[in-house]
Amino acid sequence: VYILTVSSVFIMGIKTFTKNVTSAQTTVDPPEGALKKLAVGTKNFVQFQDVMTTIWKRIGSSGKDYIHVQKGLLVLEYLLLHGSEQVLTESRVHQPEISTLTDFRSTHAADNGALIRERAYAVMKWLNDEEALKAKRAELAS
């Protein structure tokens, strides 16, 4: 028998929230308030796992689900700048997957995947220049 506790409901909540933020139901980017909630979530070990697992699934979506990829990359860049330091460590592990998205093409996307390529380049820029990332994080934290 599984007993729901306040903490387990909240943990399930962050996973669902991450899915909603990266949902293909709308092409509109998520609001900054939602991104901030995810960034805070990455600073808790269990929530970090839920957020990042969902982000990697979204980034790995197929071309027909290009909005998932698009939003996943947007959230990932935000988390690199505002989330836990662990986001950078885990992102380095997934760097080859992110790098392949710099060549992303999709006939399903109106722009043929240009926004995904742009966002993948932005994430790769931060992953390839740790000093610039640290400086930007410090600037944003102050």
Q: pTM value?
A: 0.89
Q: What pLDDT, in 10s, does the model give residues 29-87?
A: 999 999 999 999 999 999 999 999 999 999 998 878 999 999 999 999 999 999 999 99
What is the average pLDDT value for the chain, to the nearest integer?
89
Which band of pLDDT confidence, cut at 50, 70 and 90, is reported for residue 1? very low
pLDDT at 118: 97
Which band of pLDDT confidence, cut at 50, 70 and 90, is reported for residue 9? very low
Helix, strand, coil percent values for the chain (each to nearest 5): 75, 0, 25
Alpha-carbon gap, residue 84 to 62, rounded angstroms: 28
